[in-house]
Structure formats: structure tokens, C-alpha cells
Amino acid sequence: MIMKTIITLLCFLSAEGFTSRPVVHTSSSCRISSSLSVFGGAKKTTKSSSSPLVEEALSAYPYVLTDAEKKAGCIANFNEMASLYGDENALAMVRLEPKTLTFNKDNYALQLANWEEQFGLEA
């Protein structure tokens, strides 16, 4: 239930204009590491260029990815989720809501920061 709530928040908070404070991005590789108990306490300390579970995540995506650019975007989105939540938790999110692979990956770190600010990491 908590995982579905977080995925729903990812859907609805995907626009930066929804945030309660102005955000200035100084780098496109903004990363926030966390240790969320709802995600099994996964905390990724090293940056990886690609998750080992990316092919499994793409196979869970029920829509046809014929365009190479769209497939590359889905891979980048999954890698961003995996860097924030851990590989297994990102895969669980994709299995619950496959369209998470099409969200704006630049907002994932911001959404996690807003979640932490509103509810704390242990919520």
C-alpha cells in the first residue's frame, strides 16, 4: 500500500511547479541518497551508470518500445530511480506502475526531497 502511495505521489508531483519552495538545479546529476524503511532500507552509496536490472524493468513495461529514443529514455528513467531507491525497489515500482518509466526523471530527486520534507524518510 505504501509503495502504491509513493508511486501515486510520483505521478501527481511530477511538475516542479507543485513544490512549496523554489528549486535551483545546479547540476543535471542531482542525487539524493536515502535509507527508506518502506523500501527495505536500501541505500545506494555508489553511482552506477546502469542498473543490472534494467532489462528486467523493460520487460515489465507492457507497451511496445519501437523508437530507440523512447527506449533510451525509459532506461535513463529506471537508472535514475535505481540510483535513488535501489535496484530492487525501482524494479518493484515499475512492476506496480509501469508508466513510471515514462515520467520526467529530472523530478525524481526533487520528489524524494519533498516527500522527506513533508513526511520524513521513515513515513
Does any domain span residue 95? yes
Rounded to 5 degrees, φ, ψ at 17 are: -65, -15
Residue 92 lies in a domain: yes
- Is residue 82 included in any domain, yes or no? yes
Q: How far apart are CA 77 and CA 62, in angstroms?
A: 16
pTM for the model stands at: 0.59
Evaluate whether residue 9 is within a structural domain.
yes
Domain that holds residue 14: 2-22+32-119
Q: Based on the structure, what is the number of domains in the chain?
A: 1
* Domain membership flag for residue 27: no
d(CA 93, CA 19): 22
Q: Examine residue 44 and state whether it is found in any structural domain, yes or no.
A: yes
Over residues 99-115, the pLDDT tens digits come to 999 999 999 999 889 98
Q: What is the pLDDT of residues 51-96, one digit of tens each?
A: 889 999 998 888 888 889 899 999 999 999 999 989 999 999 999 9
Whether 93 is in a domain gets the answer yes
